[in-house]
Amino acid sequence: MPAIIVSCLALLFVLWLLGQPWLIEHKRRQIRARPFPPAWRDILRQRVPYVRALPSDLQLQLKQHIQVFLAEKAFIGCAGLEITDEMRVTIAAQACLLLLNRPRGYYPGLSQVLVYPGSFVVQREHMDDVGVAHHARQVLSGESWSQGQVILSWHDTLEDAATPDDGQNVVIHEFAHQLDQETGAANGAPALARREHYARWSQVLGTEFSDLQARTSHTQASLFSDYGATDPAEFFAVISEVFFEQPQRMATEHPALYRELSQLYRLDPLSW
């Protein structure tokens, strides 16, 4: 093949790569410009009461995010479950809460949302201190994989959406993991707006995480679920649930932590 043809093909490939972000955003603008389906509006009203608490500008933004999310992500029913628009919209609405006011993409590493009728069982293997492998079965309501999948229990999703102020929301929890995994393995440090923010983030969350571990080991009550004491990644997911669902308590009892999450999510739920 003549060198000039190879050069032209290489140039075209580079131009295609450079144009991809523009093409993606152009398509998303077209999707966001479409009218929001009335049937989807009814689903939000019936299944996601949290949306009614949002200011009108955030409600509009959320609906536009839902449209893009549903256009780009595949939903797959598991264990015989047939996916419906009710499931898709209810899940997307809660997942997109985490995207409001944020400049980043629509969970770029995510391609599929797998939905089970209820809690599902997974097999886990771990090595003990002497190198012996142990197998265990866990019953879960949600899980986030770095390979592009989120797995959810529809029963738990529906139940959590119906009670938006109890500090527990499996969709928010698993999609907080997705944000965390955008920077690599989940470690409780999602992408922050500025590099200099990481020092304060590490200091505040490290202190709060240690405090929760201490409370858990002494069976003392806390605003946060004991599950958050498992590791920093689970701590971030747990406090994200509380930030959106119990902002008043978090701001009162953990003001520094509330400020960090408010800066990360670029939201102040106290004002809603």
| Residue 129 pLDDT | 60
How far is Cα 228 from Cα 219, in angstroms, rounded to an integer? Answer: 14
Domain with CATH 1.10.472.150 in the chain: 33-178
Domain with CATH 3.40.390.10 in the chain: 187-272
pLDDT at 172 over 90: yes
CB atoms inside a 10 Å sphere around CB 198:
12
How far is Cα 179 from Cα 204, in angstroms, rounded to an integer? Answer: 19
Q: Which residue has the tokens 């256009």?
A: 71
pLDDT at 10 over 70: no
| Residue 147 pLDDT | 86
Task: Read off φ and ψ for residue 61, nearest 5 degrees.
Answer: -60, -40
- The CATH code that applies to domain 33-178 is 1.10.472.150
Q: What pTM did the predictor assign?
A: 0.88
How far is Cα 19 from Cα 29, in angstroms, rounded to an integer? Answer: 15
SS3 143: strand
Name the CATH topology of 187-272.
Collagenase (Catalytic Domain) (3.40.390)
Strand order in the sheet with 74-77: 74-77, 112-116, 149-153, 142-145
Residue 134: burial class (beta carbons within 10 Å; 0-12, 13-18, 19+): exposed
Q: Which residue has the tokens 């008043």?
A: 248
> 73-119 pLDDT, tens per residue?
999 999 999 999 999 999 999 999 999 998 868 999 999 999 999 99
Instruction: Give kind and range of the element (H or E) at residue 125.
Output: strand 120-127
Contacts of 15 (CB under 8 A, 6+ apart): none
